[in-house]
Amino acid sequence: MIEQKNYGVINEIKPSDWVSGVNSKIVWKDVLGTDKWKNHLQATENQCYHTNYKFETYSCVNFTVLKIISNQCNLFLHNNLIPEYQLNLLKGWNYIINNSFNFSEPHNAVLTKTSYEEDTVKGNSATTVWDTTRKIGVIPQEMCDREAVKTVEEWYGPLTQEQIDFGKNFLKVFNINYEFVVSSVCSAPKSDFIKKQLQQSPLQMLAHCGTSQVNGIIYNEDCETQHSTELYDVDENENRLQFDQYEPYFNKLSKNYVIPYLVKGVITLKTEEETKALMKGTSTLTNKEQQISIIKKLLALYWQVIALMKKTSGFVGSVINKIKK
């Protein structure tokens, strides 16, 4: 059990937010079938950096949102649902490493203005992170990996313009939308309801960290929201299976666990035609490929100049010889 404090959740619902059954334009669809989200989870990551330099990022909302996006992208990838044209783009942009998607949390936390400073309300709201992410996109983990930093100030340090702009590439292939499926309640959602929502996407849970633990199962009757985590399944005993950003990472929550907020982020593929239209006028090459291409062009130009100089030199030499004669 982690210490009982707020790890970065700010409660907020905006009038523009979609709420399931009220104003949402998300159409429920079973994308999971008999598959399991556990087959597509990303590697464990701790929002409290690090083994040697411990500091709290208060970015639980960001970590959860990116995990949910990566899980769905992995589902598409692992089930060969991404058309070849779009797949090649994603690979060229280095979004896919070792047959998996993984995105940069520092990039997301900085651009969504997650707060970490003293004397501020630390963290962020689900509505802000989802709404901002659907506009700015996401970037590969390795493009902004701050694993080696020693302070929270470094973790939240400035981004390069390339890092800021690169997320738009993701949005040329995928759409990001979200809706609140449970909001402002003090009760435990029914198992059948959770199972149905999980058929479309893993769920972001904003809730208390738990009031007790018995035989490895965490119980909660508190309505306070302290932490954002991912719900990815319901087991045969109706325990909710949670993917956390703290060790031991994978937990079982009781079927009576009070969950004030559940958010469903839905990732869908653009059509190939939509992606091609967005790619018009832009290079499909990665930065490294662009650099190699430029070098090749410069080398080709160099050899053309050399060849021209040789021809010119031969012509001039021939004329001089004739004049001498």
- pTM for the whole thing? 0.85
Closest CA to 95 of 42, 140, 63: 140
Cα angle 292, 298, 142 (rounded to 5 degrees) comes to: 20
What does the alpha-carbon distance between residue 269 and residue 80 come to, in Å, rounded to a whole number? 12
Closest CA to 126 of 58, 199, 180: 180
pLDDT for the residue 319? 41
Q: For the chain, which residues score pLDDT lower than 50?
A: 1-2, 284-286, 289, 315-320, 322-323, 325
Amino acid at 59: S
Measured between alpha carbons, how far apart are the two ends of the chain, in Å?
A: 99
Cβ-contact 203, 253 below 8 angstroms: no
Among the residues of 114-271, which ranges form H helices? 126-136, 152-155, 161-170, 191-198
Beta carbons within 8 Å of 220's beta carbon, 6+ residues apart: 207, 208, 209, 210, 211, 212, 253, 254, 257, 258
- Buried b or exposed e, range 115-127, using 16+ CB within 10 angstroms: ebeeeeebbbbbb
Closest CA to 94 of 174, 164, 166: 166
178, 63, 232, 234 alpha-carbon torsion, rounded to 10°: -110
Strands 217-219 and 250-253: parallel
Cβ-contact 115, 15 below 8 angstroms: no
How many H-runs (helices) and E-runs (strands) does the chain carry? 9, 12
Q: Backbone dihedral region of 6: left (phi > 0), alpha (psi from -120 to 50 degrees) or beta?
A: beta
Closest CA to 173 of 106, 95, 112, 107: 95
Closest CA to 221 of 183, 259, 250, 247: 259
90 CB-side CA count, 13 A: 30
Closest CA to 234 of 259, 273, 202: 202
pLDDT for the residue 49? 73
